[in-house]
Chain A
Amino acid sequence: DTEVTQTPKHLVMGMTNKKSLKCEQHMGHRAMYWYKQKAKKPPELMFVYSYEKLSINESVPSRFSPECPNSSLLNLHLHALQPEDSALYLCASSHSGEKYNSPLHFGNGTRLTVT
């Protein structure tokens, strides 16, 4: 069982749709991440929230809009996506700023298809 829960597991959307991906963790982690992963490639970092503040934005197009309502929740709002945005979107969490190594804990991902 994963301790990071992502919904939905699969999402198909048109280029004019607006949808949201959701991520939840209850491990007390204060850093949360969005990664994009194409087939047979490593995850690519999109955003990092640390203590509910956006700390890293890897020059992601504005059609992706992250939101961190509280320390347990992370959303990714999607609008006007392109077919090339189809990918597996992974959420992860970790301790932040702690004085010990802090690996990422990943969710199972949302498989997004843009038609």
Chain B
Amino acid sequence: AQTVTQSQPEMSVQEAETVTLSCTYDTSESNYYLFWYKQPPSRQMILVIRQEAYKQQNATENRFSVNFQKAAKSFSLKISDSQLGDTAMYFCAFMKPPGDDKIIFGKGTRLHILP
């Protein structure tokens, strides 16, 4: 069975700093997808970034980037130039290839951006 582990329950950083959120996962699959979701106090789950396991290049979306280490089964999220609006719960998620509609979430990291 697949598992997703986020080892940092809570983090705080100053505005404009860079912060890295950790995520590790366990799977015997060779192809899969990984996601980071953000859930601000408004409670909507928002997709931040996605990564296909067969792609070696790390995904980037503006200030958000990932460090995907397939052999180590690690998928960390880096937020550069953090902003107050980045304050949220961040969930790492794993999905097997198409044919399995199930997504597995980690327990989340609560991130506070301090003014």
Residues of A whose CB lies within 8 Å of any CB of B are 2, 31, 33, 40-43, 45, 48, 50, 55-56, 88, 90, 92, 94, 96-109, 111
Residue of B nearest to A95 (CB): B98
Set of chain A residues within 8 Å of B108, measured between Cβ atoms: 40-42
Interface secondary structure of B, over-half rule: strand
Set of chain A residues within 8 Å of B50, measured between Cβ atoms: 101, 103
Task: Report the bound CA distance from A101 to B103 in whole Å.
Answer: 11
B103-A41 in contact (CB<8A): no
Set of chain A residues within 8 Å of B107, measured between Cβ atoms: 41-42
* CB-contact partner of A43 in B95, B101, B105, under 8 A: B105
A43-B35 in contact (CB<8A): no
Q: Which B82-102 residues have a C-beta within 8 angstroms of A? A: 89, 91, 95, 98-99, 101-102
What is the interface size of chain B, counting residues whose CB is below 8 A from a CB of the partner? 24
* CB-contact partner of B44 in A2, A94, A111, under 8 A: A2
Q: Given A40-B110, A90-B45, A106-B45, decide whether A101 and B91 contact each other with a Cβ distance below 8 A.
A: no
Set of chain A residues within 8 Å of B33, measured between Cβ atoms: 101, 103
Residue of B nearest to A55 (CB): B101
Q: Which B32-52 residues have a C-beta within 8 angstroms of A? A: 33, 35, 37, 42-47, 50, 52
B101-A96 in contact (CB<8A): yes
B47-A105 in contact (CB<8A): yes
Set of chain A residues within 8 Å of B103, measured between Cβ atoms: 45, 104
B43-A88 in contact (CB<8A): yes
Query: Nearest-CB distance from A59 to chain B (Å)?
Result: 13
A42-B105 in contact (CB<8A): yes
Task: Report the bound CA distance from A109 to B46 in whole Å.
Answer: 12
Set of chain B residues within 8 Å of A40, measured between Cβ atoms: 89, 108, 110
